[in-house]
Amino acid sequence: MRNTAFFIAGLALILLQANLFRPVGFVHASLMHLSETPGFWRWIGYEHAPLLHVTSFVPSLVLPLIVYMGVHEYSLARGAGVAFVLGYATDLTAIAPVGLFTFTFVALYVLARGAGVRLASQTKLMQLVLGFSFSLLHSVMLLVLLAIFGPDPYVPRAVYHFALPHAVATASIAPVVFVIAQRIHAATMRGSEEAGVRS
């Protein structure tokens, strides 16, 4: 039941992120169009901007949820399965090469599980640190994969400097996502306990 709740919450965050990206991406494109300096947004065209939403100033809303699941040591198989499906859904909404976010989200889940910082993630400061570090790691993974397997080697070189602002934006939203995840955790724990009492 808990994994289903995390899956539903993750899909809601992905849809919110996809709709949040459009106005911010439009503002970026407008500003770059107004400026006379040659920029990547004019070169790639706005219609392809969702491919690179991880490198923009828009936070990754689902990434802190995956980190939360990893640091709280849920079942490895179930957690990786949820991360896999959420990554695939992100691939579809981001118009990314299929498998890009799928692979990186599962890898981040496994890395977060290996980090084993369950107790440390209870403080807001640690949630900010986890959001920032895992977002930065995720951006590096995506840029490396795009450089190796992407159709255009120019893309990673053109957007790598957005990785740090993206990590800051994701870190700023991480405590909110952690609160949502903690409420899901608490609600599913109560449901499990009530089911145990009835049986």
Q: Closest by alpha carbon to 108, among 140, 134, 82, 85?
A: 134
> How many angstroms separate the CA atoms of 114 and 131, rounded?
16
Per-residue model confidence (pLDDT) at position 196: 54
142 vs 30, 61, 180, CA distance in Å? 26, 16, 26
> How many angstroms separate the CA atoms of 5 and 8, rounded?
5
In order along its 199 residues, the chain shows pLDDT tens digits of 788 888 899 889 888 887 765 555 444 444 444 334 444 444 444 434 444 444 456 788 899 999 999 888 678 889 999 999 999 998 888 767 788 899 999 999 999 888 766 556 678 888 899 999 999 999 899 888 888 887 777 777 777 778 888 899 999 999 999 999 999 988 888 765 555 555 5
Backbone angles phi, psi at 94, to 5 degrees: -90, 0
Number of neighbouring beta carbons within 10 Å of residue 79: 23
Residue found by looking up tokens 């947004």 in the block: 41
96 token code pair: 């990314």
**pLDDT tens figures, 66-92:** 999 988 867 888 999 999 999 999 888
Q: Closest by alpha carbon to 146, among 155, 136, 134?
A: 155
Number of neighbouring beta carbons within 10 Å of residue 35: 10
